[in-house]
Amino acid sequence: MTSAEIRDLACQCGFELAGVARAEPVDDRYGYHQWAAAGFAGEMNYLTDRRAAVRDDPRSLLPSARSVICVGKLYHTPWPHSTGLDDPERGWISRYAWGEDYHLVVRRGLARLEALLRERCGAGFESRICVDTVPLLERSYARQAGLGWIGKNTCLINQPQGSWFFLGELLTSLEIAPDAPPPDRCGTCTRCIDACPTAALVPRDNGYSLDARLCISYLTIELRGSTPGETRAGIGPHIFGCDICQDVCPWNRRAPVTIEPEFQPRHFAPPLEDLAALTEEEFRAMFHESPMVRPRYAGFLRNVALAMGNRGLDRFRTPLERLAACGHDTVAEAARWALEQLR
């Protein structure tokens, strides 16, 4: 098969981007290990433990792999961006977490693509579906497959369509002629770097890297326990993830939007006061099959408390006092800090 035929099949499966890369190590693996050695992964041990070496070669995941079919699924919806949210009573949830868990959506599409390949080529090949929980340098292979370049904000950017894409891969033993990577078109632009409230995009090796320890997404999703004091004000109203570096990217000015129901917001910028009152059972019911459950209930309330403190409304005093008296140390400490901001 040709990569053009692969793109046609991927389009039938709901993917807006698709391409093919060779299933072999890429030079980016050296940079990845340097990034991990610098401590930029923070407490995300799954990025630095034995699985770090697995990322060096796709054949660690599928020994017979010869090609990596890379796909992109658009999740940009026709709703305001975080940079346009001016209601001080509301908190921000990253755009990718508004709807259904993207792992499920992307995996369904890849399963369909795999089935179409078997219809076309027969069953005599091996394959493996990968979403971002699998140890694979997916942005690097997506770049090799021609889907885009890796920008200064460390997101994959497609020239005509921007960066609002989930990535997925299908490793296969099929030999498919690969695509070519596009040129880097960030140029001298530094809007994402200048806009980051916590200065998480740091210069390194003639480019930029993401120091996860300073990233709002890491601080509100991956970090367990107390949030470092020097980063709290920069988190602003974010209660789950951050979109700022994509919101300000010039390549997203004309980004297409999707009307697929899976990605439409269940709870767009919800009121902070309502979130602070949720019980653990209500939290799980509200965000069932959503990425929002990843920080767990305590991490979620910690984030809500910090957002209330950063919003600075006196009406938040009562819910914050209630959180400060709760039985979880991390939540209570965040609420006490927030109360200080109100004073």
**Residue 28 a catalytic site member:** no
CB-CB contact of 138 with 130 (8 Å) = yes
Residues in the chain: 343
Nearest to 263 by CA among 128, 94, 92: 94
CB-CB contact of 1 with 175 (8 Å) = no
| 59 alpha carbon, distance to own chain's centre | 25
Partners of 202 in the β-ladder: 209
Nearest to 170 by CA among 146, 136, 204: 136
Tokens at 166, concatenated:
């989930």
CB-CB contact of 246 with 157 (8 Å) = no
Q: How many CB atoms lie within 10 A of CB 113?
A: 25
DSSP secondary-structure letter at 218? I
Of residues 132, 184, 247, 274, which has the active-site annotation? 132
Tokens at 326, concatenated:
């709760």
- DSSP result, 272-341: HHHHHT--HHHHHHHTTTSGGGTTHHHHHHHHHHHHHHHHT-GGGHHHHHHHHTSS-HHHHHHHHHHHHH
Q: Give the angle subtended at the CA of 48 by the CAs of 42 and 53, to the nearest 5°.
A: 160
Task: Report, as residue numbers or ranges, the catalytic residues.
Answer: 132
